[in-house]
Amino acid sequence: MTSDFPVLESGWTAQEEMTLLEAVMDCGFGNWQDVAYQMRSKTKEECESHYMKNFINNPLFSSTLLSLRKTKDLRFAEGAIPFKPTDDPPRPTFDSVLSRDMAGYMPARADFMEEFDNYAEWDLKDIDFVDDDSDILRALKLSVVDIYHSRLKERQRRKKVIRDHGLINLRKFQMLERCYPKEVQELYDVMRRFARVVGPIEHDKFVESHALEFDLRREIRRLQEYRKAGIKSFCSAKVYERAKRMREEERRKRTMLCDVLQYIQDGRACQQWLSKQAAIDAGITPAVTTITVSATGRRSAPPLNLTGLPGTEKLNEREKELCQVVRLVPGAYLEYKQALLNECRRQGGLRLAQARALIKIDVNKTRKIYDFLIKEGYITKA
């Protein structure tokens, strides 16, 4: 067998065609001087004109290869992922917070530092098709290539979702979510997984329709409240809203008063609270003061609210008051009380040190519980 016959045009043998292709692969497209040096039988002008005529501008290739690129199987063509807005995107440093938010996106290259399924090429990097392959081995190699193509399509599909929905600028995406009410934000978060199924416009319309539904429901509830209050005109509704705000302010003041009653024995803290309320009533922004600091310089915790706590119904009024002041849940207090009573019966009396060794909590709380039980006659001193 010889290769001394022309293939594409006269003057170029099949062996020279193969040598030209190998030289372009080794030296790179456009480096015609080195290509001609490797060819030795052709000049650089001849190599360039022949390659451009037969391998670049050949009408046979343009009617086959280019049409294949437009088929449905290659609809996920490689394209730059645009950054929105169109201003110069940020260029964060590697492994910074912003870089992680942008999923390693490199604006200068309009691509990601790591692709989805980044090591997909490793499975076929050592595959080589040779003439002496058996039919089974060749079919196996083709199957591996088909699997690789499917992984590439999935990679391009994910890029298409990112490109269509503008997901590169994650912070802007999150800021748009915060524009919706809380209920719509929760819906937006749940329905985000369906964005890959529908287009960006359809997805936005879906979310906007639910936001409109939420606004309508809120407006209906407001009108129902007016009707329940006997209001029949929007002028009366304004008066109702103004009176409602005044009631809320009065309720808030009463709540603040309840919060400060526990400090009534601290004259300094009480005076601060009264001064603050006088400033609020006068329309003046009060100075920021702390009323939770007693004269001893230690922060006092508010009493514990026992409403709904298990075991509260088993306590008498004095025990409830103790649990509120000591900030001890009723179940724990009953457990500590029973342990101290058992120890007192066993030894015929109980000392504070023994109580502290028996109850592993704050020593001040233990002393208060110990003194209370002695005062009420539950236990006796040893």
DSSP character string of 144-203: HHHHHHHHHHHHHHHHHHHHHHT-S-HHHHHHHHHTS-HHHHHHHHHHGGGGGTS-HHHH
pLDDT band at 220 (very low <50, low <70, confident <90, very high): very high
For the whole model, what pTM was predicted? 0.35
Whether the Cβ atoms of residue 188 and residue 180 lie closer than 8 Å to each other:
yes
Rounded mean pLDDT, 293-316:
69
Region 170-194: mean pLDDT is 74
Alpha carbons 140 and 179: distance in angstroms, whole number:
54
How far does the chain reach from its first CA to its final CA, in angstroms? 117
Residue 260: count of CB within 10 angstroms of its CB? 20
Q: Which is more confidently placed, 66 or 373? A: 373
Angle value at C-alpha 155, between 151 and 157, nearest 5 degrees: 115
Query: Averaged over 265-273, what is the pLDDT?
Result: 64
Give ∠ CA 368-369-373 in degrees, rounded to 5. 115
Q: In whole angstroms, what is the distance from residue 277 CA to residue 250 CA?
A: 12
- When pLDDT is cut at 50, 70 and 90, the band that residue 73 belongs to is very low
Cα four-point dihedral sign 5, 9, 12, 17: negative
Residue whose token pair is 């992680």: 100
Alpha carbon separation from 223 to 97, 227, 353 (Å, rounded): 46, 6, 66
Question: In this structure, which topology does domain 6-61 adopt according to CATH?
Answer: Arc Repressor Mutant, subunit A (1.10.10)
Tokens describing residue 14: 């099949």
Q: What is the mean pLDDT of the chain?
A: 77
Q: Which fold has domain 317-376?
A: Arc Repressor Mutant, subunit A (1.10.10)
**Residue type at 93 in one-letter notation:** T
Q: Is the pLDDT of residue 278 over 70?
A: yes
Beta strands 111-112; 105-106: pairing state = antiparallel
Helix, strand, or coil (residue 294): coil
User: Which pLDDT does position 295 carry in this prediction?
Assistant: 46
Q: Which two tokens stand for residue 331?
A: 């179940």
Residue 284 has a pLDDT of 67
Alpha-carbon distance values, 121 to 9, 80, 143, 148, 285 (Å): 37, 21, 14, 7, 66
For residue 294, the model assigns a pLDDT of 47
Nearest to 187 by CA among 169, 219, 168, 212: 212
Residue 76: pLDDT band with limits 50, 70, 90 = very low
Q: Work out the pLDDT band at 342, boundaries 50, 70, 90.
A: confident
The token pair at 213 is 């539904």
Distance separating alpha carbons of residues 266 and 381, to the nearest angstrom: 33
- Percent of the chain topping pLDDT 70: 76
pLDDT confidence tier of residue 324, bands split at 50, 70 and 90: confident
Length in residues, the chain: 382
Rounded to 10 degrees, the C-alpha dihedral 348/354/358/361 comes to 140
State mean pLDDT over 179-196: 76
Residue 269 has pLDDT above 50, yes or no: yes
pLDDT at 92: 72
pLDDT above 50: residue 332:
yes
How far is Cα 256 from Cα 281, in angstroms, rounded to an integer? 14
pLDDT at residue 43 greater than cutoff 50: yes
**More confident position, 273 or 364:** 364
Q: Is the pLDDT of residue 327 over 80?
A: yes
**Helix-helix angle 330-347:363-376, to 10 degrees:** 70
